[in-house]
Amino acid sequence: MPQWGNQDYKHAVFEQLAQGSGGSDDHFQHFENFSSGAPRRDVEAGVGEAFHPERLDRDQIEPQFRAAAEKMHPNERAEIAQDLMESLHERGLAPTWLQKLLGLGTTDPGQASADDVARLAEYSRQNHPEVFRRVMADKPFLVRWLDKPLVAGLVGIIAGKLLNRAYDRQ
């Protein structure tokens, strides 16, 4: 994959998008590169649009969050759980309350299971979308393992924002 920001990279991203869900297994191997190189506001807005609760049903996305969390390294799961729990705690939601509400196995992010991460992510997406957007933009570990059509939609939204900004400058 070419370096972020140049025309070759943008062309490669659009080639991947054009392939849809039938691409290779490493189709979105460079999602983290893409999301880290795009302007922060575009990544957060893209996450918000692509994963908006009116767009994706809980029954559709939570199993994907769980499957994605299972593929992550334990330290990545811990980082996401830590960020979600800390951000929710800053909003007055105690970890023990979240544990009871969501049926979490632990309040220790270092011990968070894939199920715990999925439940925290889904709760945040539904009830505290600003937390979900920020954490997914900061730590795209979860997003990169989701089904290709979801990731393609997210990358497409972010790419569209980049193109609109470039078009507006002309």
Domain residues of the chain, as ranges?
29-169
User: pLDDT tens-digit profile of 32-44?
Assistant: 666 677 788 888 9
d(CA 82, CA 67): 19
- What pLDDT was estimated at residue 161? 78
User: pLDDT tens-digit profile of 147-156?
Assistant: 888 888 888 8
pLDDT-derived band at 141 (thresholds 50, 70, 90) equals: confident
* Mean pLDDT, residues 56-79: 94
- What pLDDT was estimated at residue 30? 52
- What pLDDT was estimated at residue 169? 60
Return the axis-axis angle of helices 95-102 and 74-90, rounded to nearest 10°. 110
- What pLDDT was estimated at residue 143? 86
Single pTM value for the model: 0.80
pLDDT over 90 at 25, yes or no: no
pLDDT over 50 at 127, yes or no: yes
d(CA 65, CA 67): 6
d(CA 53, CA 111): 28
Percent with pLDDT over 90 in the chain: 52
- What pLDDT was estimated at residue 165? 67
Q: What dihedral angle (degrees, nearest 10) is formed by the CA atoms of 165, 127, 34, 150?
A: -100
- What pLDDT was estimated at residue 27? 41
